[in-house]
Amino acid sequence: MTIPLPDDADVKFIYENIDKHTDWFHDCLCLIASENLVSPLARQLQVSDLTDRYAEGLPGKRYYQGNIYVDEVEKRVEELAKKLFKAPQADVRPISGTTSNISAFFALTQVGDLYASTHLNDGAHISSAAFGAGGLRGLNQITYIWDKENMNIDVDATRKLLLERRPKLCLFGRSVFLFPSPLKELSDTLQEIDCHVWYDGAHVLGLIAGGKFQDPLREGVHIMTGSTHKTLPGPQGGVILGNPKNEEQWKDIRKRVFPGTHSSHHLMTMAAKGVAFAEHIKFGADYADQIIRNARALAQALHERGFNVLGERLGFTRSHAMVLDVRPQGGGATCALDLETANIITNKNLIPDDPGTSMRPAGLRLGAQELTRIGMKGSHMSEVAELFKRVLIDKEDPLKVREDVKALKSSFQTIHYCFAPGTEAYKKWRIC
């Protein structure tokens, strides 16, 4: 049932704006690479009684009473995570990918240690940057040598760098993740310097779980963190998966989750993660395959229409993501705003050797996972690319293009690759 709104201006304001947002996104093509649609079954758990409860610690070792059934659920969700990723260890408590990363930084390093990661301009996530969680831990950073043509780490130059500097921690993973990281190619070097090897799979977690990208836990990685709401289409949260060097390393991870960086985790989200894991066990391989097919088709279609899509030498992408250098079209910030006016949701993004800033970058970052989630196939990507061209190259009035975006989106209003296919993706959701 829906409770009538009270005669309170602030409450009405909040509800009215959520309604406006929901109605707007009903008519939008969403290509943010870090977003997805949670399934109806997973969404439903987030308004259960778990929303109101606490469970500090681990199952069977809680600091609160009242967790008899919570403990059973959490144990099952951990087992599902292990099964999905073929992981010896899993911690499903982190409330985001970034808190997963903070926990890993604190577990694997001490203040003053040297760590290696990708440079922000080359696609790193802000949590791995010196001004992010790495700096918060008080670490010193070096960045991998980048191969712009292949949009990946330069293996030979990076091998030399690692042997010279011998960081305690090597972090792989990116926010712009077009191609698999060269874990196998660098494995001998990583073993020689005896560092911790950590993979931030936030963006590609669903592709990894679907067996379509790379398999970090079998390629020498000790710890893999990730978000549960990008290519893995679950609730907004985090997870840590382990193939640890030793038992102490995993104990350190557990302690840095609680009491280190979390008090109670979000129980309703933890439960919803379990549903998402179960759905991905069943549907993940097909979903991941279609995501990559769609991303490659969209990248090719954009390239054919005159856009500078990075990574051309290797076919633009092997993931959900694409990156465009849109300086000829006015730069990332301007293009993202023009597309938004046309109901196409993207984000501006830095690219290698970007002459701009984070707020005025040269690039756009796109992701195909949400278009795939609502049932689009490769054949629809040319239509999407044409809409981009009309706004950014032809300079057609975005308000006119918006009507055609709405018409296209009207045929894609259901969530796929879940236990409740056919359920309306954007039906207004009332929490009470």
Is the separation of the CB atoms in 271 and 38 below 8 Å?
no
pLDDT in tens, 132-162: 889 889 999 999 999 999 999 999 999 999 9
Is the separation of the CB atoms in 284 and 58 below 8 Å?
no
Asked if residue 53 belongs to a domain, the reply is yes
pTM exceeding the 0.85 threshold for the entire prediction: yes
Helix (H) or strand (E) holding 280: helix 267-304
Q: List the structure tokens of 394.
A: 């032809």
Provide the strand spans (E) within 135-254.
140-143, 146-147, 152-153, 169-172, 196-200, 223-229, 233-242
Report the C-alpha gap between 406 and 385 in whole angstroms: 15
pLDDT value at residue 429: 43
**CA nearest 216: which of 228, 204, 227, 234?**
204
- Strand-pairing partners, residue 198, are 171, 223
pLDDT value at residue 133: 86
Asked if residue 27 belongs to a domain, the reply is no
Report the C-alpha gap between 271 and 372 in whole angstroms: 24
Report the C-alpha gap between 341 and 302 in whole angstroms: 19
**Residue 256: which domain range?**
43-279
Asked if residue 23 belongs to a domain, the reply is no
Q: List the structure tokens of 158.
A: 């990076």
Asked if residue 430 belongs to a domain, the reply is no
Is the separation of the CB atoms in 41 and 422 below 8 Å?
no
Asked if residue 14 belongs to a domain, the reply is no
pLDDT value at residue 121: 86
Asked if residue 223 belongs to a domain, the reply is yes
Give the burial class of 69: count Cβ atoms within 10 A of its Cβ; 0-12 exposed, 13-18 middle, 19 or more buried: exposed
Asked if residue 390 belongs to a domain, the reply is no
**Residue 73, amino acid:** V
Report the C-alpha gap between 370 and 38 in whole angstroms: 10
Asked if residue 333 belongs to a domain, the reply is no
- CATH number of 238's domain: 3.40.640.10
Q: How many domains does the chain have?
A: 1
**CA nearest 282: which of 417, 85, 374?**
417
**Which residues of the chain are modeled with pLDDT < 70?**
1, 421-432
